[in-house]
Amino acid sequence: MTTIAERLHDAAARIAKAATVSGRNPDAISLLAVSKRKPLEDVVAALAAGQLAFGENYVQEGVEKIQALSAAHPGHKAQWHLIGPLQSNKTALVAEHFDWVQSLDRAKIAKRLDEQRPAHLKPIQICIQVNISGEQSKSGVSPDEVLALAAAISALPKLTLRGLMAIGSDAGPDTQHREFHAMKTLFDELKGRYPQVDTLSMGMSGDLEIAIMEGTTMVRLGTALFGARTN
Ligand SMILES: *Cc1c(COP(=O)(O)O)cnc(C)c1O
């Protein structure tokens, strides 16, 4: 059986190889460990192996894990990213517990997060989720809505705009290249307007090589680190 530490090591090697093939510096690509539907002990094992950034899809599950980790390991250095859909009635929980929201897709949600972020915490780090495949089933704004939402976010003091997030479609490598390439173009435009923007979150266990070729700065890996999600 492979351990989580070994899988983290393998993922780092996979990222480094794809970066080298693309003529990119592997250090320019960070790894988000997606622990959704996995137990706290998996997070603790990854943390012990040096992984600090964790992604959760479901607010309630994420908050329970965040609280349990803080209770069991006070002073830990883990950072928590929400990468799943966020409804208005859950924004207070997110504002109180998460470090990042990568799935922001509405100005109304941004405003609520800003109002509800406790004063003693750093601003929430924000990525706008873009529906780059245009599929109805996917969340996110359309590419032509990005700049307006970015302007709304950057007017809010308790939010810091860091970049964009997207989920590639499963329509095959040509389509994925095209989608990720379009995301990189949007990202460069956003970076030109907002100097603090540094995060292009795209690429998962099945398509990280394509995302790295197209310029991702953060890949989000669940299955490759923690195994298949069965529940
Ligand atoms: C589940 C999920 C991931 C991780 O997917 P894997 O294919 O298991 O690596 C990444 N990003 C988002 C938004 C997800 O929902």
Length of the chain equals 231
Residue 118 maps to a domain: yes
Mutate which of 10, 15, 51, 57 for ligand 1 pocket (most atoms within 8 A of beta carbon): 57
Mean pLDDT of the chain: 97
Per the structure, how many domains does the chain have? Answer: 1
Q: Is the pLDDT at 231 greater than 80, yes or no? A: no
Q: What pLDDT does 111 receive?
A: 98
Q: Is the CB of 34 under 6 A from ligand 1?
A: yes
Ligand 1 centroid distance, CA of 56 (Å): 9
Residue 135 maps to a domain: yes
> For the residues 144-171, what does the mean pLDDT come to?
97
Assign 70 a pLDDT band (cuts: 50, 70, 90).
very high
Assign 230 a pLDDT band (cuts: 50, 70, 90).
confident
Q: Report the C-alpha gap between 41 and 4 in whole angstroms.
A: 10
Greater model confidence, 156 or 138: 156
DSSP per residue over 154-191, as a string?
A: HT-TTEEEEEEE----SS-HHHHHHHHHHHHHHHHHHH
CATH number at residue 58: 3.20.20.10
Q: Is the CB of 163 under 6 A from ligand 1?
A: no
The type of residue at 15 is I
| Atom 10, ligand 1: residue with shortest CA distance | 220
| Atom 13, ligand 1: residue with shortest CA distance | 83
Residue 227 maps to a domain: no
| Atom 11, ligand 1: residue with shortest CA distance | 220
Residue 92 maps to a domain: yes
45-67 per-position pLDDT tens digit: 999 999 999 999 999 999 999 99
Q: Is the pLDDT at 1 greater than 80, yes or no? A: no
Burial of 48 (0-12, 13-18, 19+ CB in 10 A): exposed
Q: What pLDDT does 138 receive?
A: 87
Ligand 1 centroid distance, CA of 120 (Å): 31
Domain holding 73, by residue range, is 4-221
